[in-house]
């Protein structure tokens, strides 16, 4: 019997080994074949009299996304570029004699990538126009974020069946309190800061007076900046734009044209004909087009990336901050601390730019990263560049830099901390589940989720939150050269726009990532002898190969989701935030996580 079992196991193992070798050989053969094909592929080329096409459905992120098997097997079509790639492409095109115009194509656009990111792209497009070249835009459903870019086009064409949105920006926070009560999930919160609204979805069914006040101030500031910039592009007074928003909200293309918001009501082929005229293409000839994706890999005479042994490190902190390593979509305190230590020890790196696009999260994770930044700052300048949002823990990290850049519409501040204590006693008891306990000290089960916390236990947690908040105030006061009393006055968890933050001393200068990099270069006194090195270096050969092989010049149209599905997905995303609650102290510095400006 024993021999039979041994023989059977040997047979199974042999079969599995054979299958493994077969699969490995098969995959290896495919990889080798594809590598061979990739190696003989000629470099991307571009014809004279070409148009650079920017698909407005492209998702703009700070750092290049990782590629994994799940992405490849999913049915979600994504066109993703980094903000730096977009800006560099526009700058490169302004000096490329083969590029005659940029086409902003909104045929498939259905989402935005954040006003601060668009502000940097908008400035690059303005400089492109100043080079003497043209920008033509076409859109169907013109959202306000798309219009932020397309409004500066030399000619903006909208489809006759399209619509234009000009109804102001708003947010619709989601509150979970009723659902938590219904299902018997208990919530206790501890916080510091009257404006620290991240706990409100767990304890309220509507906005507090303080939260409503800060939201009205924040959105009003961003909206006023929007009206001013759009008004300058279209030569319309901001007051007139506000009147249109209050009286119309949604306009059909003819109305938009009558108000001088757009130039033409026509179809996409008419935009192509206009581009042919600009590029001096004959009507029967096809228009030579190159996408932003492909243009990234095209060399331009006289425009090259610096190659130097002197490096300026650009570290991208994008996502929620967590303690430990974290996932690829999170900012893990331990993981980024390791990255920053390597940067500090690298003698070729002369300066560091921290690009922060984060609503915050774990106070512990934030402080671990901050400490490494402070150590770098002792020997190398560290410059902060804020993206769409750098609030709470994101601002905590920013205090380590010697100079902070932000856009006027960057969301920042939110200097405050909180803790959320959940318990499942009621829902468990209602379903026949109970617990008992044995302990050697009064607070042995302090961290349990099986019952609510006592008043004495809440006092312990509140003391911890107070301590972290006081530490936050000290760090901001020391970094910004402000009195602790003044910081306490502008803190309280309140959220500010970049413009307001600069007035109260939380931000030094307006500008995007390039402005921060240029400032870092000046601080190093290296002249032109430097090169940017981006971190994390997240993509290995396999990912680079997959991206190069699978990137297409033409992106498939994204499916538009119905409103009900959009709200369901939004609800799912709200619940995902709980996965970020892993701070060992249970203390968080986090922006109200369900704000979505639209």
Annotated catalytic residue 208: no
Share of the chain above pLDDT 70, in %: 78
Cα–Cα distance measured from residue 251 to residue 503, given in angstroms and rounded to the nearest whole number: 36
Is 9 inside any structural domain? no
State yes or no: pLDDT of 33 exceeds 90.
no
Q: Which helix (H) or strand (E) holds 274?
A: helix 268-279
Domain that holds residue 85: 50-167+248-295
Q: Which of 468, 493, 478, 466 is nearest to 365 (CA)?
A: 468
The Cα-based distances of 10 to 15, 19, 337 in angstroms read 8, 14, 47
Per-residue pLDDT for 546 more than 50?
Answer: no
Q: What is the distance between the alpha carbons of residues 387 and 162, in angstroms, rounded to a whole number?
A: 31
Copy the structure tokens of residue 71. 């992405």
126 belongs to a structural domain: yes
Nearest to 252 by CA among 122, 378, 162: 162
Other Cβ atoms less than 10 A from the Cβ of 578: the count is 12
Tell me, yes or no, whether 6 lies in a domain: no
| Rounded-to-integer distance, Cα 400 and Cα 66, Å | 28
Catalytic pick among 100, 196, 276, 453: 196
pLDDT tens column, 454-476: 999 999 999 989 999 999 999 99
For residue 308, the model assigns a pLDDT of 85
* Residue 362 and residue 326 in contact, taking contact as beta carbons nearer than 8 Å: no
List, for residues 477-535, the tens digit of each pLDDT value: 999 999 999 999 999 889 999 999 999 999 999 999 999 999 999 999 988 889 999 99
Residue 210 CA, chain-centre distance (Å), reads 26
476 part of a folded domain: no
In a domain, 90, yes or no: yes
Closest CA to 169 of 230, 104, 220: 220
**Residue entry with tokens 């774990």:** 362
> In which element (H, E) is residue 358 found?
strand 349-358
Structure tokens given for 544: 């680079």
**Which of helix, strand or coil describes residue 189?**
strand
What token pair was written down for 492? 């309280």
Residue 95 inside a domain? The answer is: yes
- Which residues neighbour 24 within 8 Å (Cβ) at sequence distance 6 or greater? none
Cβ-contact 78, 369 below 8 angstroms: no
Kindly state the average pLDDT of the residues 419-433: 89
Cα separation, 126 vs 146, whole angstroms? 15
Q: How many domains does the chain have?
A: 1
What is the spatial distance between Cα 77 and Cα 15, in angstroms, rounded to a whole number?
38
pLDDT-derived band at 42 (thresholds 50, 70, 90) equals very low
Q: Is 139 helix (H, G, I), strand (E, B) or coil?
A: strand
**Which tens digits make up the pLDDT trace of 246-294?**
999 999 999 999 999 999 999 999 999 999 999 988 766 788 999 998 8
d(CA 500, CA 487): 14
Residue 136 near residue 101 (C-beta atoms within 8 A): yes
Residue 391: other Cβ atoms inside 10 A: 30
Active-site annotation holds for 486? no
Given the DSSP bridges, would you call strands 382-391 and 411-413 parallel, antiparallel or unpaired? parallel
Question: Beta strands of 493-556 (E only): which ranges?
Answer: 495-497, 509-510, 531-535
Q: Residues 84-99: what's their mean pLDDT?
A: 93
Which one is catalytic: 143, 151, 362, 392? 392
In a domain, 555, yes or no: no
Share of the chain above pLDDT 90, in %: 58
CATH code at position 128: 3.90.226.10
Taking residues 358-378, what's their average pLDDT?
94
Residue 154 lies in a domain: yes
CA 288 to chain CA mean position, Å: 32
């Amino acid at each position: 019997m024993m021999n039979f079992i041994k023989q059977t196991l040997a047979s199974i193992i042999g079969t599995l080994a054979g299958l493994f070798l077969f699969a490995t050989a098969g995959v290896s053969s495919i990889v080798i074949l594809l590598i061979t094909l990739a190696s003989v592929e000629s470099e991307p080329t571009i014809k004279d009299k070409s148009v650079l096409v920017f698909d407005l459905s492209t998702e703009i992120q700070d750092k290049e996304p990782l590629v994994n098997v799940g992405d490849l097997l999913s049915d979600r079509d994504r066109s993703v570029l980094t903000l730096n790639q977009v800006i560099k492409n526009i700058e490169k095109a302004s000096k490329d004699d083969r590029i005659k115009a940029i086409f902003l194509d909104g045929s498939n656009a259905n989402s935005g990538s954040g006003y601060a990111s668009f502000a940097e792209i908008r400035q690059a497009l303005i400089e492109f126009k100043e080079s003497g070249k043209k920008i033509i835009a076409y859109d169907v459903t013109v959202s306000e974020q798309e219009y932020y870019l397309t409004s500066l086009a030399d000619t903006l064409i909208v489809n006759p069946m399209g619509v234009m949105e000009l109804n102001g920006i708003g947010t619709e926070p989601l509150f979970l309190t009723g659902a938590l009560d219904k299902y018997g999930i208990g919530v206790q919160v501890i916080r510091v800061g009257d404006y620290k609204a991240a706990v409100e979805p767990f304890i309220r069914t509507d906005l507090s007076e303080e939260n409503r006040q800060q939201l009205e101030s924040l959105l009003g500031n961003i909206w006023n900046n929007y009206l001013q910039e759009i008004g300058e592009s279209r030569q319309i007074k901001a007051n007139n734009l506000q009147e249109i928003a209050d009286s119309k909200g949604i306009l059909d293309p003819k109305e938009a044209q009558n108000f001088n918001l757009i130039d033409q009501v026509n179809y996409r082929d008419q935009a192509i004909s206009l581009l042919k005229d600009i590029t001096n293409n004959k009507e029967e000839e096809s228009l030579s087009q190159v996408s932003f994706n492909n243009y990234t890999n095209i060399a331009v005479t006289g425009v090259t990336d610096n190659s130097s042994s002197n490096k300026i490190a650009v570290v991208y902190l994008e996502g929620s901050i967590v303690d430990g390593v974290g996932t690829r979509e999170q900012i893990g305190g331990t993981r980024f601390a390791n990255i920053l230590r390597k940067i500090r020890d690298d003698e070729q790196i002369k300066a560091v730019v921290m690009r922060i696009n984060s609503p915050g999260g774990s106070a512990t994770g934030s402080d671990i990263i901050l400490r490494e930044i402070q150590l770098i700052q002792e020997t190398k300048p560290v410059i902060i560049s804020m993206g769409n949002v750098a609030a709470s823990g994101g601002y905590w990290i920013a205090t380590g830099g010697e100079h902070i850049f932000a856009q006027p519409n960057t969301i920042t501040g939110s200097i405050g901390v909180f803790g959320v204590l959940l318990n499942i006693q009621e829902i468990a008891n209602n379903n026949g589940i109970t617990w008992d306990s044995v302990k050697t000290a009064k607070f042995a089960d302090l961290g349990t989720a099986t019952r609510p916390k006592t008043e004495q236990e809440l006092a312990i947690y509140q003391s911890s939150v107070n301590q972290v908040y006081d530490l936050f105030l000290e760090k901001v006061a020391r970094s910004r050269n402000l009195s602790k009393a003044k910081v306490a006055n502008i803190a309280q968890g309140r959220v500010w726009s970049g413009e307001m933050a600069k007035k109260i001393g939380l931000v030094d200068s307006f500008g995007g990532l390039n402005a921060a990099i240029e400032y870092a270069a000046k601080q190093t006194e290296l002249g032109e002898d430097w090169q940017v090195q981006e971190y994390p270096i997240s993509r290995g050969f396999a990912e680079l190969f997959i991206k190069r092989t699978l990137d297409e010049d033409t992106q498939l149209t994204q499916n538009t989701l119905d409103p009900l599905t959009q709200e369901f997905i939004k609800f799912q995303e709200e619940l995902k935030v709980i996965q970020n609650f892993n701070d060992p102290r249970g203390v968080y510095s986090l922006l109200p996580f369900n704000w979505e400006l639209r």
